């Protein structure tokens, strides 16, 4: 019989790739395995189990995971009892191929089945392997084993919606995460209360298309309004949204809910209607800009961020210029831009591709413009007094790193005992990717 002290001695290392939803999933996998005696550690050295929680969005994602598995081989050789698992979207896409190519892998689990991890571990104890990439009928969130309620950082993610029904021509999400599913609001409020009890004061609501949330007659706007009533919750955010799902009530919420932060990540992908149509985005540059106009009308100080794909099949210089023009009009506080990379199985994968050198040159021009706007936005903060949520210790002794309402990292002189507090700070100067200030 395993003694309690032995049960708690096993070490779990989770390496997370990709989006915030994978960060959330990794946290929940850690929770699920805690009841099997695992505690999460920061290094694979000496671990009893290693999990790679993977993302399939970028080019050659699977090959990068196989390379990472190769780097894990010495840990397996040093400890033959070490269990290695691959989770997430690459696991969903590759399935048994992962074990065929890397026989040292013990288990493969898709993003909709990780609540089964404790049972899977029972099957691999004696050297077997398990692959579970089903889309189970049961709700993984309600099936997750509950571990001890550990203290949490001041800011936390909460997945409210998964999957996607948009089928953009470049995207694998509908195939790896499945159709759009929204979690019941009562369960979300319960989980939010649990987070607040564990020290969280800011919750970021997550979904592949989070603003498509619809459950029990609730929209995302109503969910935000109900969460805003929770004692102890000081800030609410949400990501990632689709322009076509920015409903009137959600736009209005930016002007009505004080706890909803003035920051919106709303990907557009291109400023060219021709390219947007080829992407199957189902919106135009004009309709996107009109949404932003309505949001700014109710929240003039809102900070906007977006996503861009450069060099999508069929993109010509005139199309790319339309993207630059859109950026100049919006002036994003932050934006993420990437060269198009084909994802196997997506409609765009077999189309004629733009030359790599052309894609690289366009990406450089776009990122130069985005950086210029980002720096100008940060500079506009200098001299202002803003509320900052203190989150973690900085690199220098006596310094904390906090978060502005606009998602800037802010460095302040403060002690770790102030983590979780919101303080007023005067911004003194802007660094490359952060702000520095003093508490008032």
Burial class, 22, CB count within 10 angstroms (exposed 0-12 / middle 13-18 / buried 19+): buried
Which of 380, 404, 427 represents a domain boundary (last residue)?
380
Half-sphere exposure at residue 153, Cβ-oriented, CA atoms within 13 angstroms: 15
Asked if 12 and 80 sit in the same domain, the reply is yes
Mean pLDDT of 177-201: 93
pLDDT at position 137 is: 56
Q: Do 9 and 117 fall within a single domain?
A: yes
> What is the average per-residue pLDDT within 170-193?
91
Q: By C-alpha distance, which of 151, 155, 157 is closest to 403?
A: 155
Q: What pLDDT does residue 93 have?
A: 81
Per the listing, tokens 């074990």 go with 99
DSSP string covering 335-368: EEEEE----TTSGGGGSPPPPHHHHHHHHHHHHH
226 plus 112 within the same structural domain = no
Q: Which two tokens stand for residue 68?
A: 């990472």
One domain, residues 329 and 390: no
Tokens of 405: 């309402």
Q: How far is CA 255 from CA 81, 239, 297, 331, 353, in A?
A: 55, 18, 9, 21, 43
> How many domains is the chain partitioned into structurally?
4
Least confident of 72-81, 130-139, 330-339: 130-139
pLDDT band at 57, cuts 50/70/90?
low
Q: Do both 131 and 33 map to the same domain?
A: yes
Residue range 396-406: mean pLDDT, rounded: 93
What confidence tens digit (pLDDT) does each residue in 265-314 have?
A: 999 999 999 999 999 999 999 999 999 999 999 999 999 999 999 999 99
Residues 6+ apart with CB under 8 A from 261: 235, 236, 237, 405, 406, 407
Which pLDDT score, from 0 to 100, does residue 395 have? 82
Mean residue pLDDT of the chain comes to: 90
Shared-domain flag, residues 23 and 109:
yes
CATH number of residue 347's parent domain:
3.30.750.200
Largest CA distance in the chain: 70
Task: Tell me the average pLDDT across 372-379.
Answer: 96
In a domain, 287, yes or no: no
Residue found by looking up tokens 């084909």 in the block:
342
CATH number at residue 106: 3.40.50.12160
- What is the CATH classification number for the domain harbouring 211? 3.30.750.210
Quickly state the pLDDT bin for 439 (edges 50, 70, 90): very high
The last residue of a domain, from among 204, 239, 261? 261
Q: Is 80 exceeded by the pLDDT of residue 180?
A: yes
The model scores a pTM over 0.85: no
Residue 291 inside a domain? The answer is: no
Structure tokens, 183: 């979690």
Provide the domain limits for residue 435: 385-439
pLDDT of the residue at 356:
96
Same domain, 164 and 224: yes
């Amino acid at each position: 019989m395993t003694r309690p002290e032995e049960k708690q001695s096993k070490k779990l290392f989770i390496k997370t790739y990709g989006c915030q939803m994978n960060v959330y999933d990794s946290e929940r996998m850690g929770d699920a395995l805690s009841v099997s005696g695992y505690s999460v550690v920061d290094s694979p050295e000496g671990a009893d189990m290693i999990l790679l929680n993977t993302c399939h969005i970028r080019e050659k994602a699977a090959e990068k995971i196989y390379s990472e598995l190769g780097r894990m081989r010495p840990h397996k050789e040093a400890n033959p009892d070490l269990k290695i698992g691959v989770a997430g979207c690459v696991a969903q896409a590759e399935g048994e191929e992962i074990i065929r190519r890397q026989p040292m892998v013990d288990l493969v689990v898709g993003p909709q089945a990780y609540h089964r991890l404790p049972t899977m571990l029972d099957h691999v104890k004696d050297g077997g392997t398990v692959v579970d990439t089903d889309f189970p009928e049961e709700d993984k969130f309600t099936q997750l084993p509950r571990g001890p309620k550990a203290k949490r950082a001041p800011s936390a993610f909460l997945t409210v919606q998964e999957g996607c029904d948009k089928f953009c021509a470049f995207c694998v999400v509908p195939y790896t995460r499945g159709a759009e599913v929204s979690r019941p609001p009562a369960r979300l409020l319960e989980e939010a209360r649990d987070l607040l009890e564990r020290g969280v004061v800011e919750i970021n609501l997550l979904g592949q298309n989070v603003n498509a949330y619809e459950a029990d007659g609730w929209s995302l706007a109503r969910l935000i309004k109900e969460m805003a009533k929770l004692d102890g919750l000081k800030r609410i955010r949400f990501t990632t949204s689709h322009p076509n799902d920015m409903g009137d009530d959600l736009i209005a919420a930016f002007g009505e809910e004080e706890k909803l932060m003035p920051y919106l990540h709303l990907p557009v992908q291109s400023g060219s209607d021709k390219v947007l149509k080829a992407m199957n985005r189902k919106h135009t540059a004009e309709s996107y800009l009109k949404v932003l106009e309505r949001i700014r009308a109710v929240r003039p100080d809102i900070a906007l961020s977006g996503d861009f794909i450069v060099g999508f099949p069929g993109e010509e210089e005139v199309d790319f210029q339309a993207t630059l023009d859109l950026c100049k009009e919006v002036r994003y506080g932050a934006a993420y831009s990437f060269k198009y990379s084909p994802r196997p199985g997506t409609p765009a994968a077999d189309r004629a591709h733009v030359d790599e050198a052309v894609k690289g040159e366009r990406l450089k021009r776009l990122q130069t413009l985005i950086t210029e706007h980002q720096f100008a936005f940060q500079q506009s903060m200098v001299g202002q007094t803003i509320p900052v949520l203190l989150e973690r210790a900085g690199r220098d002794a006596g310094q904390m790193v906090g978060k502005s309402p606009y998602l800037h990292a802010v460095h302040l002189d403060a002690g770790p005992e102030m983590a979780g507090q919101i303080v007023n700070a005067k911004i003194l100067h802007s660094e490359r990717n952060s702000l520095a200030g003093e508490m008032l």
